[in-house]
Structure 1
């Protein structure tokens, strides 16, 4: 059942509105049904690293809840916060009842394949401008690139497997499918992460790249050719040029009704709200009030008032939750990132690949949130926090097996 839940989550990651909720909800139900009988195993399997992971989730949950209570926010504002608590509980369940690396790489490979095929169909036969599915192109593009990153990370594991050719083919197609879908979505926020993602791949495999004379030049040729190839795609070129023009127009001509201009006005509003209460912010309602005041004063465009968030998670957290909220969000990024990057030094292919996949995933999210507030929407929280939890649980399972465990932990339950 855990495999069904995680499989549905990744295979239909950006294609259907139920997939990102069905998997976590099913796992949370299994958690409530089973953890009462498995606390002994939980105590044995939650090591110091997993405690740090759980601590980052718990800190974000507790800090948000307490600040929302202080600000007297409506009960509906607590909904997103409790999802971090749910993710922590699901992680405990999955540490005891894990799926394998082969299963998760199968799911992301098929997910990337389906996502790429869907986006090509829409672009070729439906004459779609910016490809999307049930939500807006931004979530579609970010989710598609996340699948692509996980497939890319899995390729090094694939070549070490008995059916290496088949695994490499699947993950290669999944990588290409996710990348194509991201490009056809026109999602600029995730494209900015490309240099960071390339650097992480280099750091993870620098020993291998430096040990063979032909690998390092090949790697840098690929790094150079990728942005050149991407820039030649009409939609990519148009979106990049439009962003540059809108940015210039905002500062030189005061044009604040464009996509970039509206975002810059949002950042102005968020920083204004932050200055009112730097420690714990002004809360969601207080942020909305500040936006309303600035719109009425003519200091920002009225379009800003139409959005529920400020399109920058860092500024959003500062406005709503102050420095406490910003630190909590940075911990939510940095702690898992450090833990995942540590695993890229592992000598076990599955652990190394999952570590790289997790680090790429977290980095992509952190960069994309410079122009998005993905954690201010249900879909954004579910697509981020549970993916991290799934990857970490599988990684710890593979690490235990590599360290001498001879049977699946679930057989002891």
Structure 2
């Protein structure tokens, strides 16, 4: 390996970790900071300030990230917040300021996607089939893990949408099959929904742009149906459980997984009272206890002691106020406005990833977890390459 390749490897370390260690190791988001520091040092030593000047000059999403990081720091010191979120925001901001976007090529991204999806499937099979333990006992929270699996599936679908190389198509197809199977094993209904909607969005965009290959689409659908047949017991079990929860809710019993979410969402107006602008920060727990004493929180939900409210939009509103909510919405919207600067395959990747997180945020808080927050930020900003907007790198 020559000197140039060594520096490329070092500068890509955060992405390599994102597609490997972040998936299988507990507290891997802390190690990500070490990877980012190494990458920043390598970039400054090898490239100097050129990438910094280019990124700050062109990337609106990066500037938005800096504003969000600044407000998160203010909120953290004003009324408390998540140290994991702060760590991920600061690390991603500093790294993305320095990162040369042209290094995240189609070849690199596809190779990492295939590797990551393989690890996802191996991890999910090991804990759900071999050891056979409940997902709540997995080393990594199953919901953010499933979110990352879904991201790799979206990247694979987007790759399939543009390439003409059979070898690349096979790699992308394998990555899709592996990641989708892993998602199913996690039993996360919100991610199943988010992945499905994001995949449909990419498919509709392909049809609109007349770029769809019906032959490969048919093969892909057949493969997905085959996967569904293989993991049919897991899917049927989750469907039966969902139906039972819906029946319980309609009969007035809200002490279920879905029912708890409804209860937490219903509390939002009372939680926000007199704190609409800046939110409550860590004091949300005190307000929650107060509402319980007023009889507005059920005994089982109170014993559950939620650290968040299973909806990113409401959670941001409650903890960081209207300002935090607007910044969060901007983090979903601004990248979509920037896809005109990138090649078509990158456009699909960005839109698909944003769509996935936007849907997942309806029933969970993917931006509260260090792993998924880093995944979103590094991919969204890394894929916006202003240097080579039409080369499809």
> Which TM class, normalised by the smaller chain length?
0.7 to 0.9
**Measured at CA, do residues 233 and 211 of structure 1 come closer, stay the same or move farther in structure 2, by a change above 3 Å?**
closer
TM-score by structure 2 length?
0.83
Q: How does 1:182-201 map to 2 (within 5 A)?
A: 182-201=183-202
Match of 2:312 in 1: 313
Match of 1:65 in 2: 73
**Aligned counterpart in structure 1 of residue 260 of structure 2, from 254, 259, 262:** 262
Contact 1:230–1:236 under 8 Å retained in 2: no
Q: Does 1:17 align with 2:22?
A: no
Contact 2:25–2:139 under 8 Å retained in 1: yes
Match of 1:119 in 2: 124
Contact 1:133–1:140 under 8 Å retained in 2: no
Q: Distance in 1 between the 2:207 and 2:33 partners?
A: 36
Q: How does 1:194-233 map to 2 (within 5 A)?
A: 194-207=195-208, 209=210, 218=218, 222=221, 229=228, 233=232
Structure 1, unpaired ranges of 5+: 404-413
Match of 2:174 in 1: 173
Query: Structure 1, residues 116-148: CA drift from partner, whole Å, max 9, x if none?
Result: 233234444333454984212212222111111
Q: How does 1:14-413 map to 2 (within 5 A)?
A: 14-17=23-26, 19-31=28-40, 34-35=43-44, 38-48=48-58, 50=59, 52-69=60-77, 72-74=78-80, 77=82, 80-95=85-100, 98-128=103-133, 130=135, 133-157=138-162, 159-160=163-164, 164-207=165-208, 209=210, 218=218, 222=221, 229=228, 233-250=232-249, 252-253=251-252, 255-285=253-283, 287-305=284-302, 306-340=305-339, 342=340, 351-392=343-384, 395-396=385-386, 398-399=388-389
**Measured at CA, do residues 298 and 86 of structure 1 come closer, stay the same or move farther in structure 2, by a change above 3 Å?**
same
Q: How much does 1:227 deviate?
A: 12
Match of 1:411 in 2: none
- The two structures, once aligned, show a CA RMSD in angstroms of 3.4
Q: How much does 1:154 deviate?
A: 1.6
> Alignment length, in residue pairs?
381
**Measured at CA, do residues 319 and 95 of structure 1 come closer, stay the same or move farther in structure 2, by a change above 3 Å?**
same
Structure 2, unpaired ranges of 5+: 1-9
* DSSP-derived class of the 1:399 partner: coil
* DSSP-derived class of the 2:23 partner: coil
TM-score by structure 1 length?
0.79
Moved more, 30-39 or 171-180: 30-39
Contact 2:36–2:91 under 8 Å retained in 1: no
Q: Distance in 2 between the 1:195 and 1:79 partners?
A: 29
